[in-house]
Amino acid sequence: MTTAVYPGSFDPISHGHINLAKRGLKIFDKLIVAVARNVAKQTLFTADERVEMVREVLSDDSRITVDAFEGMTVDYVRSCGANVMLRGIRTVSDFEYEFQMALINRHFTTDIETMFMMTSNEYSFLSSRFIKEAVALGADVSAFVPELVQRRLREKLGGEGR
């Protein structure tokens, strides 16, 4: 049975993240969506709020589990008994960043591989920053995030919706 870890901040989780997770299950038997508790990164939602949202929107597939972690991602992946990290790539700049991270991770451990998966075309332009800005300006972002997430974004950011 192959298990992969899909780490990220998921602030907030979007349809692009969901799509990538479900496509990852075509390759892996089990997927752990790992929400990073990164003190250096300012997030809109707390780690607990992000875990709760991710669990709710991915609850339709028992092969997906959701957890939070802090510290080095490779250490977390190892602690899960996995040896693959799934990472999404939207743009060339994403690839450059993810490639550097994969090489740094390989410096710390050679027993964990990073698998890059291209984002589906319809989500290639999405970013959490864009989604949050759009909500704050009152836009309907239901094409980009599940209704639960849009509701939580409005609670945090305001925005009446259009």
Catalytic residue among 26, 41, 129, 162: 41
Model confidence, pTM: 0.93
Whether residue 9 lies in the annotated active site: no
Catalytic residue among 17, 50, 132, 152: 17
Whether residue 128 lies in the annotated active site: yes
pLDDT tens per residue, range 113-139: 999 999 999 999 899 999 999 999 999
Identify the CATH number of the domain defined by range 3-124.
3.40.50.620
What residue segments make up the domains of the chain, in order of their start? 3-124
Q: In what order do the strands lie in the sheet with 64-69?
A: 64-69, 30-36, 3-8, 84-89, 113-118
Whether residue 17 lies in the annotated active site: yes
Catalytic residue among 87, 128, 132, 152: 128
Euclidean distance between CA atoms 51 and 130, whole angstroms: 21
Catalytic residue among 22, 55, 63, 90: 90
What pLDDT is stored for residue 41 in this prediction?
Answer: 77
Q: Is the pLDDT of residue 76 over 90?
A: yes
Share of the chain above pLDDT 90, in %: 88
What pLDDT is stored for residue 158 in this prediction?
Answer: 85
Whose CA is closest to 86, among 119, 58, 130? 119
What pLDDT is stored for residue 111 in this prediction?
Answer: 94
Whether residue 156 lies in the annotated active site: no
What pLDDT is stored for residue 159 in this prediction?
Answer: 66
What pLDDT is stored for residue 53 in this prediction?
Answer: 98
Which element (helix H / strand E) includes 8?
strand 3-8
